[in-house]
């Protein structure tokens, strides 16, 4: 298991997510953090983007997906983001945090953190 990782911090996007009627009508902020585990030895040696996980392309893909999504649960949104990272960009493990700022009255944020590997996405 590799300990090399790519970290993407504080990706602030807007989407439909939630179970309450008002949450189903208008987009709200979600804050996404990703830790993507992948072997960085080859790109570190070659200095060639072809040998690396292109995190700009990955982030663009996640933005497109999230902004067009309409999930009931942040758990599902986090799972979908992890699936993109693992299946489309070949990372060996993805840790995804999705937070909904202001979702609870007395809390700054509420959310989930999930961890997924290729075994979680058969087929």
Q: What is the DSSP string of the chain?
A: ----EEEEEEEEEEEEE-SSHHHHHS-EEEEEEEEEE---HHHHHH--GGGS--HHHHHHHHHHHHHH-EES-HHHHHHHHHHIIIIIT--SEEEEEEEEET-STT-SEEEEEEEE-GGGS--
How many domains in the chain? Answer: 1
Q: How does the average pLDDT of the chain come out, rounded?
A: 96
pLDDT of residue 1: 63
Which pTM was predicted?
A: 0.95
Give me the catalytic one of 26, 76, 87, 100: 100
27 is catalytic: no
Taking the C-alpha atoms of residue 70 and residue 16, their distance in angstroms, rounded to an integer, is: 5
Structure confidence by residue, pLDDT tens digits, 21-58? 999 999 999 999 999 999 999 999 999 999 999 999 99
CATH of the domain at 99: 3.30.1130.10
Domain region containing 87: 5-120
């Amino acid at each position: 298991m590799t300990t090399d990782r790519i970290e993407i911090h504080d990706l602030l996007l807007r989407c439909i997510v939630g179970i309450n009627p008002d949450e189903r009508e208008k987009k709200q902020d979600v804050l996404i953090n990703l830790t993507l585990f992948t072997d960085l030895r080859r790109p570190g040696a070659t200095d060639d983007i072809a040998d690396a996980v292109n995190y700009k392309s990955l982030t663009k893909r996640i933005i497109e997906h999230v902004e067009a999504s309409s999930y009931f649960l942040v758990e599902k949104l986090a799972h979908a983001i992890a699936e993109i990272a693992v299946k489309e960009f070949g990372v060996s493990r993805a840790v995804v945090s999705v937070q909904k700022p202001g979702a609870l009255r007395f809390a700054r944020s509420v959310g989930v953190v999930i961890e997924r590997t290729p075994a979680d996405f058969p087929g």
